[in-house]
Amino acid sequence: MEIEMKIRGLMMDPTANTPIVILKDVAGESLLPIWVGAYEANAIATEIEKMASQRPMTHDLMRNVIREMGGTLRRVVITSLIDNTFYAFIEIERNGDLVIIDSRPSDALALSLRMDCPIYVAQQVIKSSSATLVDGAATTDDWPEDYIEDTTNYKM
């Protein structure tokens, strides 16, 4: 089963100083933190803030290619969490055909923002992530609530 989620915010992991995208269940209270690279976090942050660049960035190029080839990004899905690595794919529909492409979650999320498509997460990923957070060093309980709610706390 898959759960629809939205990007709730972007923050820095206070212990690892690594960017984290926070996804929130649209119909509930589940939060899913996904650690991403600095460049990917910047691509997500610039789209959240609707900051335009003079030239197309990589995710803008991907959006433009999909559109110019007559495709539509139907959805992105975060499918699994294996050895602390998240896996995802994007679904592109073109001329009635569905193409599924493997993707890093950060790239899928940046593209979903640019193409305004839904984000889904496999329920098992949320369960696995919760178990990892509880067993690991960090929990979302340790994060200040304003970091989770406000994307302006993300600084590059």
Question: What's the pLDDT score for residue 99?
Answer: 97
Domain 2-153: give its CATH code.
3.10.690.10
CA 148 to chain centre: 14
Supply the pLDDT for residue 129. Answer: 84
89: nearest Cα among 72, 98, 76: 76
Look at residue 43 in the predicted model and tell me its pLDDT: 93
Distant-in-sequence contacts of 79-88, Cβ < 8 A, 24+ apart: 79/122, 79/125, 80/122, 80/124, 80/125, 80/128, 81/125, 81/128, 81/129, 81/132, 84/132, 86/34, 86/125
Whole-number percent of the chain with pLDDT over 90: 71
Q: Which helix (H) or strand (E) holds 115?
A: helix 105-115
pLDDT at 36 over 90: yes
* Angle between helical axes of 105-115 and 58-68 (0-180°, round to 10): 60
Are the beta carbons of 77 and 122 closer than 8 angstroms? yes
Give the global pTM: 0.83
List the chain domain ranges: 2-153
Amino acid 128: pLDDT = 87
pLDDT 10s digits, 47-104: 999 898 899 899 999 999 999 999 999 999 999 999 989 999 999 999 999 999 999 9
